[in-house]
Amino acid sequence: MSRLSNLGHRLHRGEVAYDFVGNRRIWYGVSILITLAAVVGLAVNGLKLGIEFSGGAVFTTPKTSISVSDAQNRIEGHTGGSEPVVQKLGKGSLRIQISNVSTAEAKRIQTSIAEDLGMPKADVDEQIIGPSWGKEISQKAIQGLVIFMVLVTIYLAIAFEWRKAIAALIALIHDLTITVGVYAIVGFEVTPGTVIGLLTVLGYSLYDTVVVFDGLKETTKDITKQNRYTYSELANRSLNQTLVRSINTTVVALLPVAGLLFVGGGLLGAGMLNDIALSLFVGLAAGAYSSIFIATPLVADLKERDPQMQALRKRVLAKRAADARRAEEPQDAAQEPDEDDEDGEEHAAAAVAGQRRPAPRSRSKNRPSGKRR
């Protein structure tokens, strides 16, 4: 049996436990710092929107031996004042993307690119995307994201309770903010592939959170009928029981995504794979972190404010104090003899000493002695 599997069995049986809920202030602080870094990166660098959102032109060349940096240098200054984005595609062709250009400017830029790269103009494919269409796509993406979060919140409130719905929503916003911040810091373009990756990430993060919440629901069933554990302690126990499952699921999901990001995007130069894989990689890692360190501790915080849970905590603490006092009493009794027991022993000895020995039966006077006269 592997060490991870053995650890999972020990966590499930309660032999080993990590106090995630008890140290929740530490995790909150770490999440706040990461989120602030993401927000600062987003405010300083901003999002680099692709032409699908901002409008522009895309030029695709046939297979060529010209490198990305060489092509960037050759077409520099001939793109109408806009900075071109050059990518090497898997089949050896180049994809040149220029934002915020009109149709007339695109025709002129197409001619300049063909001359700079030394190829016929007819071989350079041109695709124009208007800014109005890009704006409409942006609005649809935002609407889809808002509708997704509203439906998720309603579903969780019905399936579990409103506290878990709020915690899951905060975890989703946490994952989304970190992913968008990383995009801004790294400088990757936001494309429809990015939106697809974000929606996939939110779905996966929600799945992991629901798995943890389902275990928490089973663990805390009829919690008010016992006096041994508080809600936070049972929440931490449930989290430990599902910890290895969450880790295994996350690692298995990250491995193919890492292959897409580092092999497909890095070695093969596939632009769309980069957009999807980066959002998936960052979002999956952030989702696994938020499910363990954010969602469940938040639920415990919200539940502990409930009057029934506060009353349960008082009963649990009172019972533990009474058990501690009873555990100390036998030790004191063993160290110091009880005066009542000494008195009892003395009375027993006196009673034994005061007992009369039964008198021997005397012969009757008229009874013959048995001697012959």
Tell me the backbone φ, ψ of residue 282, rounded to 5 degrees.
-65, -45
pLDDT tens digit sequence for 243-293: 878 888 888 888 888 877 777 655 555 556 677 788 888 888 888 888 889
- What is the rounded average pLDDT for all residues in the chain? 78
H or E segment to which residue 128 belongs: strand 125-129
Secondary structure letter of residue 96 according to DSSP: E
**Sign of the CA dihedral 194, 197, 203, 204?**
negative
Maximum average pLDDT range among 47-51, 74-78, 150-154, 331-335: 150-154
Do 3-49+133-315 and 56-129 fold alike per CATH? no
pLDDT at 12: 57
pLDDT at 32: 93
3-state secondary structure of 99: strand
Q: What is the residue type of 14?
A: G
Please state, in angstroms and rounded to a whole number, the distance separating the CA atoms of residues 342 and 111: 114
pLDDT at 292: 87
What percentage of the chain reaches a pLDDT higher than 90? 8
Q: Residue 170: which residues within 8 A CB-CB, separation 6 or more?
A: 294, 295, 298
pLDDT tens digit sequence for 100-138: 777 778 888 888 888 888 888 888 888 877 666 667 777
pLDDT at 264: 62
Q: What superfamily would CATH give domain 3-49+133-315? A: Multidrug efflux transporter AcrB transmembrane domain (1.20.1640.10)
CA angle 5, 11, 15 (to 5 degrees): 120
Reported CATH class of domain 56-129? alpha beta
pLDDT at 346: 45
pLDDT tens digit sequence for 300-313: 999 999 899 889 99
- In this predicted structure, the answer to whether residue 354 has a pLDDT above a threshold of 60 is no
- In this predicted structure, the answer to whether residue 345 has a pLDDT above a threshold of 50 is no
Secondary structure letter of residue 20 according to DSSP: T
Alpha helices in the chain, H assignment, sequence order: 3-13, 24-45, 51-54, 68-75, 103-117, 131-159, 162-186, 192-219, 231-241, 243-258, 271-290, 296-303, 307-335, 339-353
Burial 272-288 (b: 16+ CB within 10 A, else e): bbbbbbbbbbbbbbbbb
Residue 60 has which token pair? 């695709």
Q: Where are the domains of the chain?
A: 3-49+133-315, 56-129
